[in-house]
Each structure stands twice: as C-alpha cells, then as structure tokens.
Structure 1
Amino acid sequence: MGSLFSCFQSKIPQSLTTQEINILSLKTKLHPKDIQEWYLRFVHCYPYGFLTRQQFIKYYQQLLDEHSIKIKGLIKELFDVFDLNKDDKLDFSEFLLLNILTNDGSIDDKLNLIFLLYYNKKGKTMSRDELKEFLRNIFDLFDIPSSKIHINQVINKIFEKNSLNKHDRIEWDQFVKEILNDDTLFQELISLDFNQDYSQHYSFIQTYQTF
C-alpha cells in the first residue's frame, strides 16, 4: 500500500518562465509556443522534470533499435556532453538543445560536437580500425549520411601525413586537428558515395519527437 501510494508522490516540475522560454527560443530558433509544446510532452514523459542517465540511454536505444547495443558507450558519452551543469541529469533545456542539434543542426555543428566528445580525453589514442568504427557509429548516432570509402581515405591520408603505419595509433586530438585545419579533409569526410542508398538515415528524424 505504501509503495503504491509513493508512485503519486512524484515532484511536479514548475512551468517554464517567460525568460526561460525566450532564452531557449534564441538558442534553438524555435517559436515560444513550440517550446511550450515540447515542455508539455517532456514533463508528461518525465514528471520529475529531468532524465537520469539510464532513462537517457533507454530513450536513445528505443530510437536506434538493434544498432543501439553497439554504440551504448557513445550514448553514455553524449549524456556527459549535454549534462552542462554536471548534476548527472538532463533537464528540459539540455534535452531540447540535444534534440535540436542532432536533428536540425548543420553537419558542421554535428561534427564539432563529435570532436568535442573526446575533447577532455587527453592522450586518447586510436588505431585505424578503431577510428573507422568510431566514426561510422557516431555518424549513425547523429544521423549523418556518410561514405565508408571516404572515411577510410581520410584516415589513411592523416596516418600517412603523420608517418604512421597500419599498426600504429594516433592521438584523437591530433586526428581532429588535422581535419579542422584542412578543409579538403573535412569536406571529404562528409562526402557521399552516390551509388549508396542513404534513405534509412532519415528515419530517426521521423521518430525523435515522440520521446
């Protein structure tokens, strides 16, 4: 009886203030009315007004289906990036910014976030194969159509430029630096193979608004 009653003790989050709505409207370019609609759906699904780490992982796993198991580690890191105040929760504003960026953000914005994922991991090194797997998985996570051929070519060029053989490893920050300092490499990384069907990449955009 007591445990059943406790289910109705959940804290009801306060409504957004006009100032909070206006700030989010500036950051996301959404109309204030749209932000209020987002908020109502959010608190309906998360009555406490935030997502825990486990809820966030479950949310993304539902969106990504069978592919989610492979990239569970990346989903955890994504949580850390958007947990701006480091309270181990995602509040509405953090959750909204994440959804707008991953679905409506430019490819440049998404890539900058990808590079940020390992920004604080100084000394993090990767082999060619690890880089290939990481980039392919993270591109899928952010719904960025990509070409395996072009990803491989960019990795090979950077390894050759740094006089690294196929058995060597490269520091992540050095790899990122090479791409950010060479617009040709940057563009090649996001170039598409026109013989490939990319239609499946856009299914995520159709489902994210359901929470």
Structure 2
Amino acid sequence: MGKQSSKLKPETLQDLKTQTKFSDTELLDWYKGFLFECPSGELSVEEFRKMYRSLFPNGNAEKFAEHVFRAFDENRDGTLDFREFMCALSVSSRGTVETKAKLAFKIYDLDKDGFITQNEMVEILKAMNKMTTESKKGLSAEEKTREIFLRMDKNQDGNLSMSEFIKGVQTDASIMHLLTSASSTD
C-alpha cells in the first residue's frame, strides 16, 4: 500500500469524530503516533501482539492479543487501519457498559456465530490468565465459566446470545468482574 499521507483527511477526521469519543486534537495526535509506529498505515497482528507483550511483560499475552485483534479487525483483512484502531480504542477506553459488553462479546464469540459457548469462554479466560499471571490463584477458567453461565444463560441452552450477555453484564457487576479479572478470588 505504501506510506499513508501524514495528514488525516478532513472527511476521515469528521467520520472518526462521529464514531468515537475523541476530540480533533486527540485524533490528530493518535494519528501521528499510529503512523510513526505503523508507517504503512496498517497494524499487523504481530505488531499488535508486540504491543500487548509490552503491556503485560510478566505474562504471555500472545493468545489474548490475537483474540482482541480479531474482534477489532472489522473488515477481516488481517490488519487494523487507523479507523478500526480508534473505534476499538474509543469503546474500550470511553465506551458505555453496553458498548464495552458488545466489544467483549465480539472477543468471546470466537467463531462469529452470534453466540458464546462455554468452550469459547474457557478459551478466552485461559488466555487472560496467561496474560496477567502465571499463578493459578482464585477460580479456574472452567469454574468462572460455569458461574457466568449459571447467571447469564437464562434460557439454559448452553449458549449466550448477545442480549443475554449484555443484560448479564449490565445487571450483575460481579459478572463484569469475572469476565475481566484473570485471578478472581470471589
């Protein structure tokens, strides 16, 4: 693709202002940093893994980074462009509980079939455990999954729909804690 223009186009800036919760100045600053780190204008999965490794130097962030990358890669082209990156960053850093829950659902729904299975949740929770700690304190990924499904799977079909997931996160703060903590000691 070659090097991207170092200036953010006005229409792109306007689109990002409507799609994110960042100001013009913040978007322009992020754009400069993004191009510095990714001169091609695209962030590869390996570069994304590297970023996560630096954020979690005492753990193994590889697998979790891949799952997050997959959720952020809206057009599924194997790279994140600036728009995808900023939309994901906006939700994760400034989003509402509902938008964060929707993003978490995308991360947990590994096969993109619109449901989270117990196996998918165990996979993500294990990846989170590896990323944040090598010790196995608190509940195991399987135990957390059983607890979450008991609370969230209202129709008891063994799958969590997006609406079950969002409702569960919105109505039970302990679920959000289970979903986001790698070593819960509830």
Residue 66 of structure 1 is matched in structure 2 by 58
- Structure 2: segments with no counterpart, 5+ residues: 132-137, 182-186
Superposition map of 1:1-211 within 5 A: 11-14=2-5, 15-67=7-59, 69=60, 71-117=61-107, 118=109, 120-122=111-113, 125-126=117-118, 131=121, 134-135=124-125, 151=144, 153-157=147-151, 162=156, 171=158, 174-176=159-161, 179-180=164-165, 183=168, 186-187=171-172, 188-190=174-176
Alpha-carbon spacing, 1:184–1:90, altered in 2? closer, same or farther (3 Å): closer
Alpha-carbon spacing, 1:133–1:85, altered in 2? closer, same or farther (3 Å): closer
Query: SS at the partner of 1:110?
Result: helix
TM-score, normalised with respect to structure 1: 0.61
Counterpart CA distance in 2 for 1:51 and 1:160 is 39
**8 Å CA contact 1:83, 1:94 repeated in 2:** yes
Alpha-carbon spacing, 1:43–1:108, altered in 2? closer, same or farther (3 Å): same
**Once superposed, which parts of structure 1, at least 4 consecutive aligned residues long, lie more than 3 Å away?**
119-125, 130-141, 147-162, 176-186
**8 Å CA contact 1:114, 1:138 repeated in 2:** no
Q: Which amino acid aligns with 1:189?
A: I
Alpha-carbon spacing, 1:39–1:139, altered in 2? closer, same or farther (3 Å): farther
| The 10-residue stretch of structure 1 (181-190 or 92-101) with the greater mean CA deviation from structure 2 | 181-190
Give the Å deviation of 1:40. 0.8
Give the Å deviation of 1:21. 0.2
Q: Which amino acid aligns with 2:66?
A: K
Query: SS at the partner of 2:43?
Result: strand
Q: Which amino acid aligns with 1:190?
A: M
The count of aligned residue pairs is 166
What's the RMSD between the two structures over aligned residues? 3.9
Counterpart CA distance in 1 for 2:78 and 2:40 is 14
| The 10-residue stretch of structure 1 (130-139 or 88-97) with the greater mean CA deviation from structure 2 | 130-139
Q: Which amino acid aligns with 2:3?
A: I
TM-score, normalised with respect to structure 2: 0.67
Counterpart CA distance in 2 for 1:80 and 1:179 is 22
Query: SS at the partner of 1:48?
Result: coil
Q: Which amino acid aligns with 1:175?
A: L
